Amino acid sequence: MIKTIEWKNDRVIMIDQRKLPEKEIYFVCSDYRQVIKAIKEMVIRGAPAIGIAAAMGAALGAKSIETRNLDDFKVRFNKICEEIGRARPTAVNLSWALKRMQNLVEKSSIKKTETLKKTLIQEARSILSEDIAINKRLGFIGQKVIKDRATVLTHCNAGALATGGYGTALGVIRAAKEAGKQVQVIADETRPFLQGARLTAWELVRDHIPVTLITDNMAGYLMKKGLIDVVIVGADRIAANGDTANKIGTYSVAISAKEHGIPFYVAAPCSTIDHQIKTGEDIPIEERNEKEVTHIGGKRIAPPGVSVLNPAFDVTPHSFIAGIITEKGLLKAPYRRSIAKVRQKG
Ligand code: MRU
């Protein structure tokens, strides 16, 4: 299995996703600031994976706090969490994981800071192992939407690399294969960062799941030709009404799918649902460096001086979504109700 991130010998080790597929090298963090850098610079990316990285970063930060005074420790720990929380704005898993770490400190009856530090490391490791189990569970639930011999279109990378392992959208595809179905995947390349071409294609080729790479502008044509049966994507933040933020270009895929009567599913853990946000209008959208658009593989492709837009995510309105696959079940419209129900389940 691909190891996206792990805690080993008091260090956080991540596969460097900027270098894939050419090189399989690892980025080692022994300081929480290196984890922030890794998240900002996309060494690690994908909503659940950056949540895990944030939790491990917080554990590294806690380790570096030199005080035996509990109140002092709490103040400094919360500051570190706030700093990590600013690394990227759209994926809610980042703040979800940090809140979980902060709650642990807040509610713990442990008085010794050294013991608390060990408990935080354990909590971060649990977030990782739980994420893998959640993906397997949602994969099992979601594979039912994939028919035998289906062709699935996916956008960006919602695979093992974007999570603790197994993946969300790709987890559903893996589970369909494990259930004995023949599945093939069409992967959008996902400009500008090319998560589809570099990461999804790499993962699926490794797993011997048939995958065909296309550029983003080809999806509509393939849909019209009847070559896509179902669309499954991941999510960075789901609002209480089901509106879903995911990688830029997802909205266009959803529009095309609706036009051609192709079901469009979102696969995500419940930690990606932001119950505080009523609609997608309130989801913050990250703007990234214009170089991601003007350059490909380090080579400039656009004239100097041209103005550039680079929103990293868009929001697909809930009315375009056939279902949201979570570890607690396949959520259907009306989403306000089905999403509120999973919240009550705890
Ligand atoms: O900018 P990225 O690569 O972090 O964006 C990732 C996505 O949009 C994924 O589809 C999403 O995080 C779901 S990952 C299971």
Our measurement of the distance from residue 339's CA atom to the centroid of its chain's CA atoms, rounded to an integer in Å, reads 19
Give the 3-state secondary structure of the chain.
CCCCEEEECCEEEEECCCCCCCCCCEEEECCHHHHHHHHHCCCCCCHHHHHHHHHHHHHHHHHCCCCCCHHHHHHHHHHHHHHHHCCCCCCCHHHHHHHHHHHHHHHCCCCCHHHHHHHHHHHHHHHHHHHHHHHHHHHHHHHHHCCCCEEEEECCCCCHHHCCCCCCHHHHHHHHHHCCCCEEEEEECCCCCCHHHHHHHHHHHHCCCCEEEECHHHHHHHHHCCCCCEEEECCCEEECCCCEEEECCHHHHHHHHHHCCCCEEEECCHHHEECCCCCHHHCCCCECCCHHHHEECCEECCCCCCCCCCECEEEECHHHCCEEEECCEEECCCHHHHHHHHHHHC
Residues 121-166: tens digit of each pLDDT: 999 999 999 999 999 999 999 999 999 999 999 999 999 999 999 9
158 within ligand 1 shell (Cβ under 6 A): yes
* pLDDT beyond 90 at 115: yes
Instruction: Based on the fold, state whether residues 275 and 150 are members of the same structural domain.
Output: yes
Residue 292: pLDDT band (50, 70, 90) is very high
Residues above pLDDT 70, as percent of the chain: 100
28-32, 106-110, 228-232: least confidently modelled range: 106-110
Residue 217 has pLDDT above 80, yes or no: yes
Testing ligand 1's pocket by substitution, the residue of 2, 190, 246 carrying the most ligand atoms inside 8 A of its CB is: 246
Please indicate whether residue 211, judged by its CB atom, sits closer than 6 Å to ligand 1.
no
Residues 86, 170: one domain?
no
How many other C-beta atoms lie within 10 A of the C-beta of residue 340? Answer: 12
Answer with the one of 109, 136, 163 that is the final residue of a domain: 136
Asked whether 179 and 139 are in contact (CB, 8 A), the reply is no
What pLDDT does residue 306 have?
98
- Ligand 1 centroid to residue 122 C-alpha, Å: 26
Catalytic residue list contains 236? yes
Which pLDDT belongs to residue 274? 98
Domain boundary among 136, 166, 181: 136
Q: Are 96 and 236 in contact (CB under 8 A)?
A: no
**Residue-averaged pLDDT of the chain:** 97
Ligand 1 neighbourhood includes 49 CB (under 6 angstroms): no
**pLDDT one-digit tens code per residue, 182-203:** 999 999 999 999 999 999 999 9
Same domain membership, residue 263 and residue 170? yes
Ligand 1 pocket check for 194: Cβ under 6 Å: no
**pLDDT tens digits, residue range 21-40?**
999 999 999 999 999 999 99
* 315-343 residue pLDDT tens: 999 999 999 999 999 999 999 999 999 99
Tell me if 236 CB under 6 Å of ligand 1: yes
195 with 101, same domain: the answer is no
Domain boundary among 87, 119, 136: 136
Distance 247 CA to ligand 1 centre (A): 6
Domain limits at 23? 5-136
Q: Does residue 175 share a domain with residue 71?
A: no
Same domain, 224 and 108: no
Residue 159, domain CATH: 3.40.50.10470
Q: Which CATH number do you get for residue 61? A: 1.20.120.420
Average pLDDT score over residue span 176-180: 98
d(CA 300, ligand 1 centre) in Å: 25
**Same domain assignment for residues 196 and 130:** no
> For residues 269 and 329, is the Cβ–Cβ distance under 8 A?
no
Number of domains in the chain: 2
Q: Find the 150 Cα to ligand 1 centroid distance in Å.
A: 24
Q: Is residue 171 lining ligand 1, measured as CB closer than 6 Å?
A: no
Q: Which of 131, 188, 229, 236 is catalytic?
A: 236
Tell me the CA–centroid distance for residue 110 and ligand 1, in Å. Answer: 36
What pLDDT, on a 0 to 100 scale, did the predictor assign at position 346? 65
What is the pLDDT at residue 129? 98
Q: Are residues 254 and 146 part of one domain?
A: yes
Predicted pLDDT at 162: 98
Specify the pLDDT at position 344.
Answer: 79
- The whole-number pLDDT of residue 1 equals 79
